[in-house]
Chain A
Amino acid sequence: MDDLKAKYLAQISDASDEAALEDIRIAALGKKGEISLQMRELGKMTPEERQVAGPALNALKDEVNSALIAKKAGLADAALNERLKTEWLDVTLPGRGRAAGTIHPISQVTQEVSAIFADLGFSVAEGPQIEDDWHNFDALNIPSHHPARGEMDTFYMHRDEGDNRPPHVLRTHTSPVQIRSMLEKGAPLRIICPGRVYRADYDQTHTPMFHQVEGLAIDTDISMANLKWVLEEFVKAFFEVDGVELRFRASHFPFTEPSAEVDIRCSWDNGQLKVGEGDDWLEILGSGMVHPKVLEAGGIDPAKWQGFAFGMGIDRIAMLKYGIPDLRAFFDSDLRWLRNYGFSALDQPDLASGLSR
């Protein structure tokens, strides 16, 4: 029996393909195979003989079977390996392209600003961009002869012959939204008003359209000191710095009193702004306590309510934060610019994960 075992195991080991293996299986374990035939002989044996030969034959059968299975798996592996060798691909070829879109810096920064002020309880108010004279000027304490009107480079809308109303304007600031919000919602009120504004000016640093965000907070006890805190917190959150120093300089706006221009301490390093350090001051916004006449125009009693307002350029703070040099390029839609300065669609700014990546 040992001979038998040795013979088949040797044959199996030498088999070169599955067909040869099958032949061996039939020769050994097939119906008429050598081992099968011997097993058939067991019936003719005495019980004593059978007790010895039975287990031995079974063991032989199992052993040959296992060897066959193992060899078969080995052969299959070898065949697969052979095939895979032929299936080489150039993995350095580029993958299939997928277009990546971008979000414009103005949209991104508007969302950043909204996220910060949302945390302080400010909601976002919007309004018409073609405005009437009253909402854009008079309600904001800028009467028709006020020099500020001339300084604002206002765009006027066409008036038909016979229509004697003062011409509508393209809003020169988002302040008319403050008036509309006051009239609609009353006090107390906390809003920011982001959006497009227009001034007839075009040069290296001015475009006839740009973006502003204004803020307005009205309550019974809001002071200019609160305004300073809010702006400090905003600047820290927006520029993502721990400390920042703001300087309030007395100034004049018709719609606030007292008024202040606000500078931040900064330094310039190779044209890149660093906020919160250095010896330079950078003017970033105008602000003040809402003028009683403006509150009145908004239907709010200035004897009972008071509050602050501020306004800054979205494009401007985007340029400062992200190091974008030229305002005019914001509106040119140059693909190279959009791809370089744009943001990923999934890059949603929020306070939990931080505003910028």
Chain B
Amino acid sequence: MKFTLSWLKDHLETDASVDEIAYALTDLGLEVEGIENPSARLAGFTIGHVTSAEKHPDADKLRVCQVETDEGPLQIICGAPNAREGINVVVAKPGVYVPGIDTTIGVGKIRGVESYGMMCSEREMELSDEHDGIIELPSGEVGERFVDWLAEHDPAKVDTVIEIAITPNRPDALGVRGIARDLAARGLGTLKARDVAPIEANFKSPIGVSIDKDTTDGCPVFFGRLVKGVKNGPSPAWLQDVLKAIGLRPINFLVDVTNFFTYDRNRPLHVFDADKVKGNLRVYRAKGDERLTALDDKEYGLQPGMMLIGDDTGPESIAGIMGGAASGCNEDTVNVFVESAFWDPIEIAHTGRKLKINSDARYRFERGVDPEFSPIGLDHAVRMIMDHAGGEASEMVVAGEIPDHSRAYKLDTDRVQSLVGMEIPAKTQRATLEALGFTLKGDMAQVPSWRPDVQGEADLVEEVARIASLTKLEGKPLTRTNSGVPKPILTPMQQREQTLRRTIAALGYNECVTYSFIDAAAAALFGNEGDATQLENPISSEMSHMRPALLPGLLQAAARNQARGFADMALFEVGPAFHGGEPGEQHLLASGLLVGHTGPKDVHGARRAVDIYDVKADAEAALAAMGAPAKVQIMRGAADWWHPGRHGMMCLGPKKVLAVFGEIHPKVLKAMDVKGPAMGFTLWPAEVPFPKAKSAARPALHLRDLQAVERDFAFVVDADVEALTLVNAAAGSDKALIEDVRVFDEFIGGALGEGKKSLAITVRLQPTEKTLTDEEIEALAAKVIEKVTKATGGTLRG
């Protein structure tokens, strides 16, 4: 919302400076977004008097002028045809910035003659497009600042323009008068009476108005007057000036009047050229086959139920949003029908949204205009039309009734203080509301018709606090909920998420935060089926689905990093994935991704390609950090984005999957443009059981004094025998004595032959009561060999 200072002062008697007004506006909730002050831009220009003007010796069109200025006489070369002796001019001396030519004036030579400044046209000072010659002032003293002269003789030219942001609850501030009312309530001046003199009407309007029965809820009331015999044409300068100042293009007087009251009083109006209206006007709902070319010259198809104003020939206006081109007013209009109606905000909002029309009328009607002001606003406009364009007004045409908006809420002055936490005397509270137009009867505050947003007691509190100034609010300590040491506040799951995140980072992964949405193809690769997780209005096709997993986002990140020349990376993310489109159909995941090598090339030869045992160890470490049991089952058969032979699920039982690790399927990598291989893991933190009884105490430590003994064995088994089978068999041969079994070597092929491999294990025996004898150790070794060969079908390697 833009307005000029003088426009504001039309409604507000005030001595306040622009700065004071701007501060108050922002503080009141009418946030100032910009102040344009032309006088600041023109401050350097002064008035001069041309004492002589001679022809330039080397140029026919240039004149060498002697100009009397505040700094004494200056020689200025000028090319303007009207540069001559005896006129008052506007001078830019060296050092002054001239906005219209984007130049700072310097001392220069023009065709060999020195020039000490410039005499300016209106265009050069961005005052208008006038550039036929330099400005000739009818008055003014030599040395007087040009802005001071303008302020006295042509104030519109130096009017300050203020732009404010309007929150959706303040339609009243979409009119200058509403802004003035707020400032007056704050104490920055007094609101001027701006009543309209009664219109003397001598005839009945030949155009009648009716509202269809099924449309009265959308259009409760419609007022109009016909003004006949007007002389339309360009608006007077003052009207053009204010409209231009706020960025509107003057069109013709009748249209400009409607725009003026839209901004002056938040009262959108429409003018029909009465000679183009056939018969009466009727407000009705569209059937759905109507088409209308509106004032923006675009054709719109109306949907069933949308409100229209039509005449005998068909639709003439999209009600409350935009008039039709056919019956609009132009310079030749002689008889004008002025409309001032009240339209239901919700209907206007829906229709405007569907037709995608953003007009000043829609913007205001959907926020709510003052219904009581509808006939008064009409008369303001009619009065202005008759004052400037002549003509005679008809009696007022009325259809429907002004809707009853009357309501009152209790002002509880104590509650205001308790909610705001500021001492505001009851008297001040009442005075504030009255200044804003509320009527107080006892402690009941009747809401003014221009404040549709006030819908309860809380709104009264807001009005009082706003006018009292929240800037003055002083903080008061919030009492603690308990007086002692603050208690931990995270839930076990939140703690777990935090631990998990830091554990994975400590393992060398960089945490990413990727978008929750991915493209349809990636979603499908990671198990998405159906449309449940699809967005209705995605911002792009790359962001069309809620992600079913974190890996696709990480893979896309990997591809981007590879494209930037980074081949080795460890990325992870902890965050939600979505398994459906209903609230709550999301689950927390943690995924890690390794691509490339373990590190850069180094002198130690430590670099190697990453493999599944890296991600396995990382997944184990992350599970351990979450307190998962040390022993989990490793199973195959996870989702098909994993390499079928190179992945494992870490499970507690066949249904409880805590984690999956493995190599990403090469087809997935190819589809996602990642140069592989790539290793990944995914953890389901919520699946890891929480300890049943929470106790800080650790299990007791039992140290054995007897020395442990280690024995190594190597077995030749079929290549597809899993190491864990072997380890479990060995460990099972004496659960009391065997403390640990570790695989320390795997050898495939060679002399072993096709399809065979050798696995070597270390078995650690921890005696508990007495040192083991050689015989006992031999007996145990035999048992290990027997168990392993039985379980694996292998043999002890000779």
Binding site for B on A (CB under 8 A): 93-94, 96-104, 106-107, 111, 114, 117-124, 126, 128-132, 135, 145-148, 150-151, 155-160, 167-168, 170, 188, 190, 196, 198, 200-202, 208-209, 217, 221-226, 228-232, 246-252, 254, 257-261, 289, 291-293, 306, 330-336, 338-339, 342, 344-346, 348
Most buried by B among A107, A114, A257, A338: A257
A338 near B516 with CB under 8 A, answer no
Closest to A148 in B: B168
Known A104-B511, A155-B538; judge A333-B570 contact (CB<8 A): no
Q: How far is the CA of A225 from the CA of B470 in the complex (A)?
A: 9
Render B455-472 as a binary contact track against A, CB cut-off 8 A, 1 for contact.
011110110011001110
B515 near A342 with CB under 8 A, answer no
Most buried by A among B346, B476, B498, B513: B513
Q: Which of B527-535, B638-646, B735-743 contacts A (4 or more CB under 8 A)?
A: B527-535
B508 near A225 with CB under 8 A, answer no
A198 near B471 with CB under 8 A, answer no
Q: How far is the CA of A258 from the CA of B432 in the complex (A)?
A: 15
Closest to A105 in B: B513
Please name all residues of chain A whose beta carbon is closer than 8 Å to the beta carbon of B505 when the two chains form the complex: 101-103, 344-345
Any A CB within 8 A of the CB of B512: yes
User: Out of B456, B476, B501, B510, which one reaches A229, CB within 8 Å?
Assistant: B476
Q: How far is the CB of B406 from chain A (nearest CB, A)?
A: 21
Known A129-B576, A228-B475, A333-B561; judge A252-B170 contact (CB<8 A): yes
Binding site for A on B (CB under 8 A): 26-29, 31, 167-170, 345-346, 349-350, 353, 366-367, 418-422, 456-459, 461-462, 465-466, 469-471, 473-478, 480-482, 486, 488-491, 494, 498, 501-517, 531-540, 543, 546, 554, 557, 560-561, 564, 566, 569-572, 574-576, 578, 581-586, 598-600, 602-604, 606
A346 near B569 with CB under 8 A, answer no
B422 near A225 with CB under 8 A, answer yes
Known A99-B570, A148-B168, A157-B581; judge A124-B31 contact (CB<8 A): no
Name the 5 nearest CB pairs between A and B, nearest first: A225-B421, A223-B421, A99-B508, A229-B475, A250-B29
User: Out of B534, B561, B571, which one reaches A158, CB within 8 Å?
Assistant: B534
Most buried by B among A151, A190, A332: A332
Closest to A102 in B: B510
Closest to B553 in A: A333
Known pairs A155-B538, A168-B581, A334-B561. 16 more at Cβ < 8 A? Answer: A96-B604, A97-B600, A101-B508, A114-B490, A145-B366, A158-B533, A208-B515, A224-B420, A224-B421, A225-B474, A226-B477, A250-B29, A333-B514, A342-B510, A345-B505, A346-B506
Closest to A248 in B: B470
A225 near B578 with CB under 8 A, answer no
A346 near B502 with CB under 8 A, answer yes
A129 near B473 with CB under 8 A, answer no
Q: How far is the CA of A151 from the CA of B168 in the complex (A)?
A: 10
Q: How far is the CA of A249 from the CA of B532 in the complex (A)?
A: 42
Q: How far is the CB of A251 from chain B (nearest CB, A)?
A: 5
Q: How far is the CB of A92 from chain B (nearest CB, A)?
A: 11
A129 near B586 with CB under 8 A, answer yes
Most buried by A among B456, B507, B510, B582: B510
Q: How far is the CA of A198 from the CA of B179 in the complex (A)?
A: 34
Q: How far is the CB of B739 from chain A (nearest CB, A)?
A: 30
A135 near B511 with CB under 8 A, answer no
User: Out of A246, A250, A257, which one reaches B28, CB within 8 Å?
Assistant: A250
Please name all residues of chain B whose beta carbon is closer than 8 Å to the beta carbon of A250 when the two chains form the complex: 27-29, 462, 465-466, 469-470
A224 near B478 with CB under 8 A, answer no
Please name all residues of chain A whose beta carbon is closer than 8 Å to the beta carbon of B419 when the two chains form the complex: 223-224, 258, 289, 306
Known A118-B488, A128-B586, A145-B349; judge A229-B478 contact (CB<8 A): yes
B167 near A251 with CB under 8 A, answer yes
Q: How far is the CA of A93 from the CA of B268 in the complex (A)?
A: 79
Q: List 21 A-B contacts (CB under 8 A).
A: A94-B602, A99-B599, A101-B508, A118-B488, A118-B490, A122-B489, A128-B583, A130-B585, A147-B349, A157-B534, A200-B539, A208-B539, A209-B515, A225-B473, A229-B477, A230-B475, A232-B475, A248-B473, A249-B27, A261-B31, A333-B554
Closest to A142 in B: B168
Q: How far is the CA of A229 from the CA of B457 in the complex (A)?
A: 25
Please name all residues of chain A whose beta carbon is closer than 8 Å to the beta carbon of B600 when the two chains form the complex: 97
Q: How far is the CA of A27 from the CA of B502 in the complex (A)?
A: 71
Q: How far is the CA of A114 from the CA of B420 in the complex (A)?
A: 26
Please name all residues of chain B whose beta carbon is closer than 8 Å to the beta carbon of A151 when the two chains form the complex: 168
Q: How far is the CA of A306 from the CA of B459 in the complex (A)?
A: 15
Please name all residues of chain B whose beta carbon is closer than 8 Å to the beta carbon of A333 when the two chains form the complex: 510, 512-514, 554, 557, 560-561, 571
Please name all residues of chain B whose beta carbon is closer than 8 Å to the beta carbon of A344 when the two chains form the complex: 505
Please name all residues of chain A whose beta carbon is closer than 8 Å to the beta carbon of B511 when the two chains form the complex: 101-104, 107, 338, 342
Known A94-B603, A252-B29, A257-B458; judge A158-B535 contact (CB<8 A): yes
User: Out of A160, A226, A291, A346, which one reaches B478, CB within 8 Å?
Assistant: A226
B569 near A335 with CB under 8 A, answer yes
Q: How far is the CB of A256 from chain B (nearest CB, A)?
A: 9
Q: How far is the CA of A89 from the CA of B302 in the complex (A)?
A: 86
Known A129-B586, A221-B418; judge A228-B535 contact (CB<8 A): no
User: Out of B465, B471, B506, B531, which one reaches A101, CB within 8 Å?
Assistant: B506
Q: How far is the CB of A230 from chain B (nearest CB, A)?
A: 5
Q: How far is the CA of A222 from the CA of B533 in the complex (A)?
A: 41
Please name all residues of chain B whose beta carbon is closer than 8 Å to the beta carbon of A348 when the two chains form the complex: 502
Q: How far is the CB of B555 from chain A (nearest CB, A)?
A: 11
Q: How far is the CA of A201 from the CA of B480 in the complex (A)?
A: 39
Closest to A171 in B: B583
User: Out of B488, B540, B561, which one reaches A335, CB within 8 Å?
Assistant: B561
Please name all residues of chain B whose beta carbon is closer than 8 Å to the beta carbon of A101 when the two chains form the complex: 504-511, 570, 572
Please name all residues of chain B whose beta carbon is closer than 8 Å to the beta carbon of A196 when the two chains form the complex: 516, 575-576
Closest to A232 in B: B475
Please name all residues of chain B whose beta carbon is closer than 8 Å to the beta carbon of A145 when the two chains form the complex: 345-346, 349-350, 366
Please name all residues of chain B whose beta carbon is closer than 8 Å to the beta carbon of A190 when the two chains form the complex: 481
A157 near B456 with CB under 8 A, answer no
Closest to B470 in A: A248
Q: How far is the CA of A231 from the CA of B477 in the complex (A)?
A: 10
User: Out of A96, A121, A123, A223, which one reaches B602, CB within 8 Å?
Assistant: A96
Please name all residues of chain B whose beta carbon is closer than 8 Å to the beta carbon of A150 when the two chains form the complex: 349, 353
Please name all residues of chain A whose beta carbon is closer than 8 Å to the beta carbon of B477 when the two chains form the complex: 226, 229
Q: How far is the CB of B308 from chain A (nearest CB, A)?
A: 20
Q: How far is the CA of A320 from the CA of B218 in the complex (A)?
A: 48
Known A121-B482, A251-B31, A257-B459; judge A147-B366 contact (CB<8 A): yes
User: Out of B473, B502, B586, which one reaches A103, CB within 8 Å?
Assistant: B502
B169 near A252 with CB under 8 A, answer yes
Closest to B477 in A: A229
Closest to A199 in B: B539
B536 near A156 with CB under 8 A, answer yes
A158 near B536 with CB under 8 A, answer yes
Q: How far is the CA of A343 from the CA of B796 in the complex (A)?
A: 51
Please name all residues of chain B whose beta carbon is closer than 8 Å to the beta carbon of A257 when the two chains form the complex: 458-459, 461-462
Q: How far is the CA of A187 from the CA of B606 in the complex (A)?
A: 59
A158 near B532 with CB under 8 A, answer yes
Known A107-B511, A155-B537, A225-B475; judge A258-B583 contact (CB<8 A): no
Q: How far is the CA of A124 from the CA of B490 in the complex (A)?
A: 6
Please name all residues of chain A whose beta carbon is closer than 8 Å to the beta carbon of B488 when the two chains form the complex: 118
A338 near B475 with CB under 8 A, answer no
Please name all residues of chain B whose beta carbon is closer than 8 Å to the beta carbon of A106 when the two chains form the complex: 513
B420 near A225 with CB under 8 A, answer yes
User: Out of A98, A131, A224, A332, which one reaches B473, CB within 8 Å?
Assistant: A224
